[in-house]
Amino acid sequence: MTLTELPHRTQAIVDSVLDLGENDKIARRLRELGFVDGEQVEVVAKGPLGAEPLLVQVGFTRFALRRSEAARVRLRPTGGGT
């Protein structure tokens, strides 16, 4: 599952960030901002048009990501209840 598919106000754990193409600067920046293995994330708001951009809580910070950016973030499969 990627961050774009995560339901509103549901917590999940980041698995990794996918590089789209070689030397993907956006993927690198996402990792620098804290989207790394084991980090908790949550979608806390969505933009008014087409649910874009997404407001994502990671660590203690909130970032607005467009869907194409959020699609790079792969989440750990959730086991049953969570």
Partner 1 sequence: MSATALPLRLALVGNPNCGKTALFNQLTGSRQKVANYAGVTVERKEGRLHSASGRSYAVLDLPGAYSLNAASLDEAITRDLCRGFLPGEPAPDVLVCVVDATNLRLHLRFALEVRELGKPMILAVNMADVARRRGITIDLAALQRELGVPVVETVAVRRNGARALVERIDRLVAKPHVPRTHLAETADHGAGTAQALHEETRRLLSAAVGMPTRTARIDDALDRWLLHPVFGLMALAVVMFLIFQAVYAWATPMMDAIDAATAWLGASVGAALPQGPLNSLLVDGIIAGLGGVIVFLPQILILFAFILALEESGYLPRAAFLLDRMMASAGLSGRSFIPLLSSFACAIPGIMATRSIQDPRDRLATILVAPLMTCSARLPVYALLIGAFIPQRQVWGVFNQQGLVLFGLYFAGVVSALMVSWVMKKWRRDKSEHPLLLELPSYRIPHPRDLLIGLWERAWIFLRRVGGIILALTILLWFLLSFPGAPADATMPAIDYSFAGRIGHAMTAIFAPIGFNWQICIALIPGLAAREVAVSSLATVYALSAADDDAAAQALTPLISDGWSLATALSLLVWFIYAPMCISTLATIKRETNSWKKMSFATIYLFGLAYVASFVTYQVAVLLGAG
CB nearer partner 1, residue 38 or residue 80: 38
Residues that bind partner 1 (CB under 8 A): 25-26, 28-34, 36-37, 39-40, 44-50, 52-53, 55, 57, 59-66, 68-69
CB nearer partner 1, residue 49 or residue 80: 49
The strand pair at 11-17 and 73-75 is best described as antiparallel
Closest CA to 44 of 11, 2, 68: 11
CB 29, min distance to partner 1, A: 5
